[in-house]
Chains A and B, each alone.
Chain A
């Protein structure tokens, strides 16, 4: 007789270690004009930014919480600390200078090792501020800018930042975009000049250590014409029994005939509300490639959006979401086709296990000018056991006749035949099921650099471990 699957707590010690708050400064919990002014002062914002923050706060207060998607009742803004400055005077360009406990955190996460081995540059954020930032000399020599956004805001690129900051994602977009506009802190600015093709990736890693805090980093990437960039984003946090909030914002500007690949392996702790907004504006002949693995957080609302503004602009979205015990992960993507001959290709997998809820949500919009455009969406969901839930909510809004829009979705469970076949070749049932789930998620692992693919497979194996009674 087949045993019903059992749930065991997974081993998250790799991410769950934490240090006592190393912060030297934090604002009070909650959200008021005073707090926003305080953050602005603490950061030495230019005046326009201070005004922008206050305007965003007003929008935040006027905008309702979404009436769709996972329940956000457990998130009480009065208890969230919006700004926590780690105990370090400034950002460092050498790991030697980073305070010991913070350096130790990133060491354990393998960031400096990865930097030496396979990255063109690294930024590391601890709570609200970037603590480390460095690019390889040969990358800097090509004119690539990779810096924290605060210094960019005051330096040579001040105008460029002002021109682009929250223009792709305006604070009016939704409540948490407004929140971000009010209290954002940290994050990276990347500029890749015309014609520069970076063959090794840049990486940012976000670590939220403080209990009951929010992280609101802003990532702004501008890829000029005929250029290429692969940007990798990683995030994690130790688990607390109070809610933490992540409401970051990623704005990507992809120039004419350029390609930007944006890869994320998200592994927030399971008390995190991940309400992140990511958006790319793509010019003529440009391409945005999203690779997205969502494993962590208690609740996620995450829909990277591609706005295809130029003729022939393209987007590819490859995603996997794994919702385990206590998780409600609402993920997907949005595409707007605004120009002729644009194309979108969306391929996602969702896995639900141990009572986890995963929802694939998408929207594909084709406007009047989208002549000759194509869109193909394929999403598959896997129910690992009978305690979980999986929903698929894809919307299409097509206003141009000369297009080709296809959508397909499937839902099912692990086939007993496949498990039996693998067991007949000597695998245990647990190993067989883990193997099947890893295979199911290979749309994403195939797209990731090797080390990240390995990390992702480990995460899946961890989640699947002990799932057999």
Chain B
């Protein structure tokens, strides 16, 4: 049977730069025949789930994602069913909403498209674990965060084999809304990660803590954008990773201060530990600024272990070789350690 595909351009840098660096975007080919994958779910009492649409007062807001418009069009064309979730106003959920996707090879491509509404004043943690292997799988989360509401999204990806994995997020936060993202990226043959967070409401906040480990011939392509439009909004994008073997990684991170976001603050940092000379690390951290009254900063440290850190470890009897082994694990653990105890079964992050 002939399989038809769509060619999409995703993960576009908000401002282009030299084409020969090949950083501006990613071109991907996705199958037209797709269906949602059946996942295990623990739904906390009081979170409402509705098949087929987004729900609640924010459902009409158009939300852009890190992958961009091409993907939106593609998802619409596939006609895949969206799963809508909504919390109750003002309710703080103790129990997380847990989802586990264990892919086993399927004939069609996989798309799971979620639409989460965190109603005013409520707070929820969502845990998504992705495991197994297949040819292509896409997970998309649209997150609508109401006034003074808070969503913590924890995503752990341990796909095996040559799985092509697409993880896309779009967020819109109203006044005082908070979005916290924790991502642990450990597997898949090639992964694409996108996030766009519209900090539209006054005082809304984005915080991300991301750890990746890429080895052998795997690749990872990332695009994270904090869109500051609201006053006194804050973003903090923090990324740590390890590259080994023939790994290829591209991280795009942008803080975009739009006119009117007075009092906004944004910071972004990537720390990459390079193990082998055969790796390719590309990093492009942008600050775009159309507003005077802001503070923005970004940084990147790439390469071997920092000299003063290595000296400290050696002064405690730890050899250079051992220090590298420790730091490789530490890059990932530093983010895992942020996840509250009891939220993950311990085995899930081994």
Asked whether the complex places CB atoms of A and B closer than 8 A, the reply is: yes
Q: CB-defined interface of A450-466 with B at 8 Å, one 1/0 digit per residue? A: 00000000000000000
Whether A409 sits at the interface, judged by CB under 8 Å, is yes
Q: Map CB proximity to A onto B276-303 as digits: 1 under 8 Å, 0 otherwise.
A: 1101111111111111111111111111
* Residues of chain B lying within 8 A (CB to CB) of residue A69: 16
B window 252-281: CB within 8 A of A = 257, 259, 272, 274-277, 279-281
- List the A residue with the shortest CB-CB distance to B293: A413
Report A54 CB to chain B, min CB distance, Å: 25
Against B, the Cβ 8 Å flags (1 = close, 0 = not) of A72-95 are 000000000000000000000000
Q: Is the CB of B18 within 8 A of A363?
A: yes
Whether a CB of chain B sits under 8 angstroms from the CB of A468 is no
Option from B21, B272, B281, B285 in Cβ contact (under 8 Å) with A409: B285
A409, B303: Cβ atoms closer than 8 Å: no
Instruction: State how many angstroms separate the Cβ of A3 from the closest Cβ of chain B.
Output: 14
Report the minimum CB–CB distance from B55 to chain A (whole Å).
38
Whether A402 contacts B303 in the complex (CB less than 8 A), given A394-B285, A411-B296, comes out as yes
Q: Is A399 an interface residue (CB 8 A)?
A: yes
**Contact of B287 with A395 in the complex, beta carbons under 8 Å:** no
A389 at the interface (CB under 8 A from B): yes
Q: Which of A383, A388, A395 contacts B284 (CB 8 A)?
A: A395
* B15 within 8 Å of A (CB atoms): yes
CA distance A386 to B259 in the complex (A): 8
Contacting pair A385 B292 (CB below 8 A): yes
A26: min CB distance to chain B, Å:
34
Are A68 and B298 interface neighbours, CB within 8 A?
Answer: no
In the complex, the chain B residue whose C-beta lies closest to that of A365 is: B21
Inter-subunit contact A68/B299 (CB<8 Å): no
Taking the complex as formed, is B7 at the interface, i.e. its CB lies under 8 A from any CB of chain A? no
B3 within 8 A of A: no
Min C-beta distance of A347 to chain B, whole Å: 15
- CB pair B286–A392 under 8 Å, yes or no, is yes
When chains A and B are docked, how far (Å) is the Cα of A200 from the Cα of B17?
38
Q: Tell me, yes or no, whether B130 is within 8 Å of chain A by CB.
A: no
Supposing A67-B16, A402-B304, A409-B299 touch, asked if A391 and B277 sit within 8 A by C-beta, the answer is no
With A68-B17, A407-B285: A383-B275 Cβ-Cβ less than 8 Å: no
Q: B299–A408 contact, CB under 8 A? A: yes
Are the CB atoms of B294 and A411 closer together than 8 Å? yes
| A390 within 8 Å of B (CB atoms) | yes
B19 at the interface (CB under 8 A from A): yes
Alpha-carbon separation in the docked complex, A408 to B272 (Å)? 14
Q: How far is the CB of B288 from chain A (nearest CB, A)?
A: 5
Whether A391 contacts B275 in the complex (CB less than 8 A), given A67-B19, A401-B304, comes out as no
User: Which listed residue (B274, B280, B293) contacts A386, Cβ 8 A?
Assistant: B293
Given the complex, which residues of B lie within 8 Å of A388, measured CB to CB? 292
Q: Give the contact-size bracket for chain A.
A: 35 or more
Task: Decide if A406 is an interface residue (CB 8 Å cutoff).
Answer: yes
Q: A396, B289: Cβ atoms under 8 Å?
A: no
Bound CA span A384–B293, Å: 10
**Chain B positions within 8 Å of A389 at CB level:** 289-290
Also in contact, A398 and B296, with CB within 8 A (given A67-B16, A411-B289): no
Determine whether B23 belongs to the interface, using a CB cutoff of 8 Å to chain A: yes
| Total of A-B residue pairs, C-beta within 8 Å | 142
- Most chain A beta-carbon neighbours within 10 Å: one of B17, B21, B272, B291: B17
In the complex, what residues of B have CB within 8 A of residue A188's CB? none
* Alpha-carbon separation in the docked complex, A389 to B24 (Å): 21
Contacts of B297 in A (CB 8 A): 408-411
Query: Which residues of chain B are near A410, meaning CB under 8 Å?
Result: 295-297
Are B303 and A393 closer than 8 Å at their CB atoms?
no
A393: chain B residues at CB < 8 Å are: 15, 17, 284, 286
In the complex, are the beta carbons of B303 and A401 less than 8 A apart? Answer: yes
B274 touches which of A363, A392, A403, A408 (Cβ 8 Å): A403
> Chain B residues with Cβ under 8 A from A49's Cβ?
none
Chain A residues within 8 Å of B298, by CB: 392, 407-409
Q: Determine the distance from Cα of A31 to Cα of B302 in the docked complex, in whole angstroms.
A: 46
**Chain A residue nearest to B272 in the complex (CB):** A398
**A391: shortest Cβ distance to chain B, in Å?**
5
Contact A395 B21 (CB under 8 A): yes
Q: Are A399 and B15 in contact (CB under 8 A)?
A: no
Partner of B287, one of A363, A371, A391: A391
Q: Which residues of B contact A394 (CB under 8 A)?
A: 284-285
Residue of B17, B19, B286, B303 near A404 (CB, 8 A) is B303
Residue pair A392, B19 in contact (C-beta under 8 Å): no
- A12 within 8 Å of B by Cβ? no
Q: Which residues of A contact B284 (CB under 8 A)?
A: 393-396
Distance between A467 CB and nearest chain B CB, rounded to angstroms: 13
Contact (Cβ within 8 A) A383 B16: no
Give the chain A neighbours of B283 by CB distance below 8 A: 395-396, 398, 407
A412 touches B295 (CB 8 A): yes
- Judge whether A381 is part of the interface by a CB distance below 8 angstroms: yes
Contact B18 A405 (CB under 8 A): no
Complex CA–CA separation, A396 to B298 (angstroms): 13
Please pick, from B18, B19, B292, B306, the residue contacting A383 in the complex, using a CB distance under 8 A.
B292
Known: A397-B282, A411-B287. A368 touches B277 (CB 8 A): yes
Given contacts A388-B292, A398-B283, 16 further A-B contacts (CB under 8 A): A359-B15, A363-B21, A381-B289, A383-B292, A391-B289, A395-B23, A396-B282, A396-B283, A397-B21, A398-B272, A401-B274, A401-B277, A401-B303, A405-B301, A411-B295, A411-B297
- Which residues from chain B sit less than 8 Å from chain A, CB to CB? 15-19, 21, 23-24, 257, 259, 272, 274-277, 279-304, 306-307
9 A-B residue pairs with Cβ-Cβ distance under 8 Å, sorted by A, are A383-B294, A398-B274, A398-B303, A402-B277, A405-B301, A407-B285, A407-B301, A407-B302, A409-B298
